[in-house]
Structure 1
Amino acid sequence: MKQPQSTAATPFTAYQKLLIGILALLQFTVILDFMVLSPLSDILMKSLNVTPAQFGWVVSVYAFSAGGSGLLAAGFADKFDRKKLLVFFYAGFILGTFGCAMATSYHLLLAARVVTGLFGGVIGAISMAVVTDIFELNQRGRVMGVLQMGFAGSQVLGIPIGLYFANLWGWHAPFLMIVGLAVLLMLVMVLKMQPVNKHLALQSEKNAFLHLGHTVSNSRYQTGFLATAFLSVGGFMLMPFGSAYLINNIHISQHSLPMVFLCTGISSIVIMPFIGKLSDKLNKFHLFTGGSILAIIMILIYTNLPPVPLWLVVVVNMIMFMGIMSRMIPATTLNTGIPEMADRGAYMSISSSLQQVAGGIGAVIAGLIVSQSGKGAPLQHYGTLGIVVAAVITACIFFVYRVSVMVQNKQREVVNVAAAENYDSIDEVLPEHL
């Protein structure tokens, strides 16, 4: 009997490269739609007479609606071609973002964020299911490294350009910019992306809600759900008040903010492909832990900064986001190794839902921790917020460790299956099991 041999990092086909580009741009637009709120926070709070607590709800309501739609979509996520699901939800996301651009009051903006969250919050989960179906486990670290560049790209290109437009034409302009880009991407996706429907042949449950129930009740999956939820809480707590903190506490001018986000994004673009490659070669949990420790140190420094020069703010932000990104890529890659192919859509939808809801709760808590005595006054208790975020990151290490152990056990099971079935390579069985 031949002993199955694990292959090295598998190269991408031409279509896989195209698909990575489409999914990365999807991530870019969806993340930018959410990320642009942070640099606009000071403008929005002053323009619409919004308090920190109310702005926390502007952020949170997106997360809560995304979480609700994720749970509703989870039972159906494995019942349809994943390409069709992406097109449907992306169209709704475009409409929601257009509603944000047209909003003229706090309550209209709040309603538009609900619509955007209902559709946009599911896109990431479907994208992860597509990645898991199309790419082998030893390719996914590199794929995640590119997809996470949507985050960095939003800072390098999207946020600075959005802030420039906002300074010229008002805070509505960045949302119109996102809509224009998303419409073009929708056309490319419809014309170039192939159906993703191999999972349909593996479905045994006809009832979508029964499928949802079985996925939720799986004890192995529950550990992954917890890890995903904790992974997002810290970012949701820290990010919404980022620009207000820089402007009112550190005394960075509104016109200098694009430089902060530009440099931070460039550093992320440099580090993420490197982290993605390391994630395919090294122990993912060890990489995650190192990034978590760096993130904790830099968050505690950042949230207690006195007024300092712009260059020092840029350096601190760059190092802090290097730590944050070094957490996200290996943790997300590990999480894709948990579900079976027949459950991937539901699993990713539930994970995304819990991630959004947990993050929404985190944003609400952040709004309750942080206070401001008046327009232009320094934010109070931001250092306390940093301590809370550090504690959440520490707790997340435990859950990601448990995920890592489960994935390693599953890989050993796949090796045993390959040996028993006389496969030449474990990659022949990996697509169905990992």
Structure 2
Amino acid sequence: MLTHASPGTGNDSTTQIDVSAYAWVVFALTVGLLLSDYMSRQVLNAVFPMLKVTWNLSDTQLGSLSSVVALMVGVLTFPLSVLADRTGRVKSIALMAAMWSLATLGCAFSTNYHEMLLARAFVGIGEAAYGSVGIAVVLSIFPARLRSTLTAAFMAGGAFGSVLGMALGGAVAAHLGWRAAFGAMAGLGIVLLVCYRCAVTEKQLARLQPADTNPRAQVQGMRMSFRTLMKGLFSTKSVVCAYVGSGIHLLVPAAVWAWMPSFLNRYYGMSTGKAAMSAAMFVLATAFGMVVCGILADRLSKHERERTWSTAVAFCLICFVLLTIGFRMPAGPAQLVVISAGMFFSAGATGPSGAMVANLTPPSIHASAFATLTLANNLLGLAPAAVLTGIVADRIGLLGALQLVPFAPLVAAIAFFIGRRNYGVDLDRLSALREHAGG
């Protein structure tokens, strides 16, 4: 089982180890597949206006086509992640990429809403464990000092993939129709899958493991009972707060990414193609914000561990203020600028959340811990965001629905604040337990 270099906060002996060039190759290829993952997921949002007209769909139905993917991811991420640890992560990644690519191709051939809903469900099944398995692979071959940065950069790959899916999907749809847009995303996924399978193997990944990785701990991690696993995943109040805060704060980017093309189409009179391209800029702002916030969190918490939580709280509160103001401003360039600024911080707590979870769980179950984090992210934020926004939009209008969305990071900030109060005690207790187990 692949594990992180150490369970601590990044001050261990492994933190000064040079990172090999091949580790960065693995990182690039893993992020490349994540791009394909989110391109397949978000291309749908670019063609919302076309599907609404073609099949006379309500906003609730449109939202369900987006939310069903996150729902499948949320429900299946944990069992499929555990299965991946036992059957081999590289093989599992290949199977997942093949499924989401073929399911996206199935979307291109859908003839009605129900066929599209089924195809989108299979996209979600294919993507279910990729986030947790992919980040576990990446973090297992890098030093602990880079956890917030790498987690944020990896997750930002999803945002960049969303940008590409919306922008390229919208451009293809404008010229060749919405079916061609789905077909293009499927083809790209298959190409990236072939590249990954040829370049990455389990044996090559094993060679990148830190020299001090404990093989016995890896075996114990695979053989531990379900009760012991659950105890490790939910052993402290602070790790539970990290799961909850991370999930709730991601409701904002999920809702805005899904509905921004429609928002620009309805309130700014943009065509489908232009709305998709313009909406991609908001996703791009989120992506850059994730990376910058992750780097900032690592630097600020280098000498004071509680600052990881403080940065997460700050990012959530800034997002709340900016988006609350932005969606209540009159339509125009100023409104779009303020919304963009809010989106820069909308997923800023992603990197800190990943670092918190890694620091608060044993290395032998980090893949399962990230699966739990992915589960929380999807069930609390990503899955309900689009459909709930659609349901509210059918009643009070899309603008009114989007004006309610910024309250999610306010709730997340409260969760992170509670976690911060317990973090020091929890981390000291876990360190003592690890030292006792090692002795």
For Structure 1 versus Structure 2, the TM-score category normalised by the shorter chain is 0.7 to 0.9
Equivalent AA in structure 2 for residue 79 of structure 1: R
Greater per-residue helix proportion: 2
2:245 paired residue number: 227
1:340 paired residue number: 362
Distance in structure 2 (CA, Å) of the matches to 1:20 and 1:60:
28
1:281 paired residue number: 299
Contact 2:86 2:222 in 1 (8 A): no
1:382 partnered with 2:399: yes
Query: What are the Cα deviations for residues 370-415 of structure 1, in whole angstroms up to 9, with x where unaligned?
Result: 127xxxxxx716335423x233211212323444566655665687
CA RMSD of aligned residues (A): 3.2
* TM-score scaled by length of structure 2: 0.81
Question: Structure 1 pair 152/227, CA: closer, same or farther in 2 (3 Å)?
Answer: closer
Equivalent AA in structure 2 for residue 306 of structure 1: P
Distance in structure 2 (CA, Å) of the matches to 1:194 and 1:184:
17
Contact 2:326 2:336 in 1 (8 A): no
Contact 2:243 2:373 in 1 (8 A): yes
Contact 1:74 1:347 in 2 (8 A): no
Gaps of 5+ in 2: 1-9, 207-214, 301-306
SS in 1 for 2:87: coil
Question: Structure 1 pair 224/265, CA: closer, same or farther in 2 (3 Å)?
Answer: closer
Question: Structure 1 pair 280/160, CA: closer, same or farther in 2 (3 Å)?
Answer: same
1:203 partnered with 2:221: yes
**Given the alignment, which residue of 185, 201, 214 partners 1:194?**
201
Contact 1:369 1:385 in 2 (8 A): no
* TM-score scaled by length of structure 1: 0.82
1:166: how far off?
0.5
Distance in structure 2 (CA, Å) of the matches to 1:54 and 1:32:
21
SS in 2 for 1:135: coil
1:81 partnered with 2:99: no
Question: Structure 1 pair 158/365, CA: closer, same or farther in 2 (3 Å)?
Answer: closer
1:260 paired residue number: 278
1:399 paired residue number: 415
1:352 paired residue number: 374
Question: Structure 1 pair 404/127, CA: closer, same or farther in 2 (3 Å)?
Answer: farther
Distance in structure 1 (CA, Å) of the matches to 2:393 and 2:329:
15
Distance in structure 2 (CA, Å) of the matches to 1:33 and 1:398:
33
Query: What are the Cα deviations for residues 322-359 of structure 1, in whole angstroms up to 9, with x where unaligned?
Result: 11142323233333333222222222223222322233
2:190 paired residue number: 183
1:296 paired residue number: 320
**Given the alignment, which residue of 115, 125, 138 partners 1:108?**
115
1:127 partnered with 2:162: no
Distance in structure 2 (CA, Å) of the matches to 1:248 and 1:325:
26
Question: Structure 1 pair 212/176, CA: closer, same or farther in 2 (3 Å)?
Answer: farther
1:255: how far off?
3.8
Distance in structure 2 (CA, Å) of the matches to 1:19 and 1:218:
32
Gaps of 5+ in 1: 373-378, 422-428, 430-434
Distance in structure 2 (CA, Å) of the matches to 1:15 and 1:231:
34
Contact 2:63 2:387 in 1 (8 A): yes
Equivalent AA in structure 2 for residue 361 of structure 1: P
Contact 2:310 2:420 in 1 (8 A): no
2:39 paired residue number: 32
Equivalent AA in structure 1 for residue 108 of structure 2: A
1:118 paired residue number: 125
SS in 2 for 1:287: helix
Percent identical among aligned pairs is: 18
Contact 1:163 1:174 in 2 (8 A): yes
1:239 paired residue number: 257
Contact 2:46 2:169 in 1 (8 A): no
